[in-house]
Structure 1
Amino acid sequence: MLEVKGLRAGYGAVEVLRGIDISVSKGEIVAVLGANGVGKTTLNKALSGVLPVTAGRIVFDGVPLSGSSTAAVDAGLIHVPEGRKIFPNMTVLENIELGSYRRGKKNRTRNLENVFATFPRLKERTGQAAGTLSGGEQQMLAIGRGMMAEPKLLILDEPSLGLSPLLVEEMFNLVRRLNQDGLPVMLVEQNVVQSLEIASRAYIVENGTITMSGTAAEISANPELKRAYLGL
């Protein structure tokens, strides 16, 4: 579904990604894990065409991406960014409908029903200003907006960030449920333990490179994981 080879990108003279190789197949949840500042969000921006790449290639659904954000969206590579990035002064419904601005417009009514079936709380708050929602509800809104674009692959950037433990559990259950419905997910997270519980495979990112990759079970059992995260 997604194949990334030798990806390099950064900001000005500062190179952040130093030859990233990752892949996501149909039906998978693939976790991309790493501490804050190792390049995970830069990777997402490069995949989405928001940040230009300096080397490497990105192939999505068998087609090379051109490097523009509209090309990624039009192809069905949908990125739910870190920090939700909702429009706080617009209503919940307006935020959701914006998800179909470039893709999925013809099926907007059907997709809206699907979002409300997945997130009944959003249906109760359609006329409410999005900025007045709780953190968990804003994350639901961001994911619901992404679902409106009929994703072939959904990139979730730190969906558990800033949520209470109970809501974190709910969020990971949601990711698992979306995947069981047939949606491949690339889960980009600092939350290692719960990400590995639901992922089929995982990559560990350190200093802009992949330092570990394998099945979730292999990564969980690797003593290098403790070294990378706990300094042991």
Structure 2
Amino acid sequence: MADPILTVSDLRAGYGATEILRGLSMSVAPGEIVAVLGSNGVGKTTLNMVLSGVVKAASGSISFLGEDVTNHAPGDIVSRGLVHVPEGRKIFPNMTVRDNLVLGSYRRGKAARAANLDKVFATFPRLRERISQLAGTLSGGEQQMLAIGRGLMAEPKLLILDEPSLGLSPLLVEEMFTLVRRINADGLAVMLVEQNVVQSLEVASRAFILENGVFALQGKASDLAASDELRKAYLGM
């Protein structure tokens, strides 16, 4: 495996006196999809926020592209190419589709903004059709496309997708995971943070199962998909 672009070592973090992440270590290699899986409340969003600089690490380290970025400011982390598409989309509802996308290049990607817009519209033709529409009037699936497209406008080296299938219909969930594959096919590394265990393991090369702030299981996605322990814990089988 190539040298990781992201390395997390013994990461601990929380809120006040409450420790949420209890010594996590993981990595993401160039061009791979890594899934971080677990139910609500196990620390997935906290991990994303620490990686993005929004929540400070209590201890441990985060290395991105060979440089220590532990507790760097969020703007600096985005400028380096680590881009987080948050849970719940967090689009600007009273702004147009185009303006939401342009905001994605505020910190990174300004020079190629026009070309990147064309790339996003090639990936999401529906967004081109709705370019002047207010983002708040889009469907849930279209809003998720917009959130991901906004992340792509920053020319990420690593794209963290936090619960991209949340709240979508089964048909749109299938479409979303197909989209993750398509984005990754261009060589973009993706960290997929999800509750949807089955489909995430189908698209990922490796996976980490988060339980109560620790990785209870980790390994090749295909091995975890066949794991009796995982099937009993998450699939009820």
TM range (shorter): over 0.9
Question: Out of 205, 223, 231, which is 1:226 matched to?
Answer: 231
Q: What secondary structure does 2:47 align onto?
A: helix
Cα distance between partner residues in 1 of 2:108 and 2:136: 25
Q: Deviation at 1:66?
A: 4.4
Same amino acid, percent of matched pairs: 69
Question: Out of 14, 18, 39, which is 1:14 matched to?
Answer: 18
The alignment's C-alpha RMSD in Å is 0.9
Q: Deviation at 1:72?
A: 1.1
Q: Deviations over 1:3-58 (max 9, x none)?
A: 00000111111110000111000110000000111000000000000000000000
Checking the alignment, whether the CA contact within 8 Å between 2:51 and 2:62 is kept in structure 1 is: yes
**Paired residues for 1:38-187 under 5 Å:** 38-67=42-71, 68-187=73-192
Question: Out of 29, 34, 38, which is 1:30 matched to?
Answer: 34
Give the TM-score normalised by the residue count of structure 2: 0.96
Q: Deviations over 1:113-139 (max 9, x none)?
A: 000110010011111110000000000
Runs of 4+ off more than 6 Å: none
Q: Deviation at 1:227?
A: 3.3
The alignment of Structure 1 onto Structure 2 pairs a total of residues equal to 232
One-letter amino acid of the structure 2 residue matched with residue 124 of structure 1: E
Give the TM-score normalised by the residue count of structure 1: 0.98
Runs of at least 5 residues in structure 1 that lack an aligned partner in the other structure: none
Other-structure match for 2:193? 188
Q: Deviations over 1:188-215 (max 9, x none)?
A: 0000000000100000000000011100
